[in-house]
Amino acid sequence: MNGAEELQRLASLVEMNKARLDEVGEQSERIYSVISEHESAIISISAISSGNSGHIPIGAGIMIPLQSTNEQKALVDIGSGIIAEKNHHEAIEILESRVKELKLVLEKMNSEAQILQAEINKLSLDFNDTATKLKPSENKEITISDITDLTNEKPKKQRRRFGNELTLDD
């Protein structure tokens, strides 16, 4: 493998790892959102369980007043679309266990992001080393974006209007 092919390979590896790092970041944001939703539900159920009246948001800025009754039940999705009726204490336990599981997943994703970042840094250093070995006589540094720009270049098509009309570009 010659130097240019090695540079192109390293550049594509860096870009692939950067794309994966972006995906991990987006997934982490979604998990943070789900954790926040679960914690909000725990707070709401706890407030309702205390016997206080309150309001339940149903969306679009609308809330419905709620008077707590003696029957302290909640409908909980326990998986695979199965809904079970649980008392408030059990519902809170289920939500808290889900939050713990989500936080573990989030920790794994953060460690994966750190590994990916380290790999990107290593590949970038390898790329720069290969680039300097390839062209030691020139002072111009080749960057990863230069290689990816060269590999992604597409020839421009001639622009034409509808039918066979010629334009100034022709």
pLDDT exceeds 60 at position 30: yes
Q: What's the pLDDT at 127? A: 85
The CATH class that applies to domain 3-48+67-143 reads mainly alpha
pLDDT class for 97, splitting at 50, 70, 90?
very high
Compute φ and ψ for 159, nearest 5 degrees.
-90, 135
Output the pLDDT for position 34.
Answer: 92
* Percent of the chain topping pLDDT 70: 72
Cα–Cα nearest to 8, from 135, 137, 131: 131
pLDDT tens digit string along 129-156?
888 887 654 445 556 566 555 555 554 5
- Provide CB contacts within 8 A for 50, sequence distance 6+: 68
CA distances from 107 to 12, 101, 111, 113 (A): 28, 10, 6, 10
Q: Residues 78, 38: contact at Cβ < 8 Å?
A: no
* pTM of the predicted protein model: 0.64
- What is the pLDDT, as a whole number, of residue 103? 94
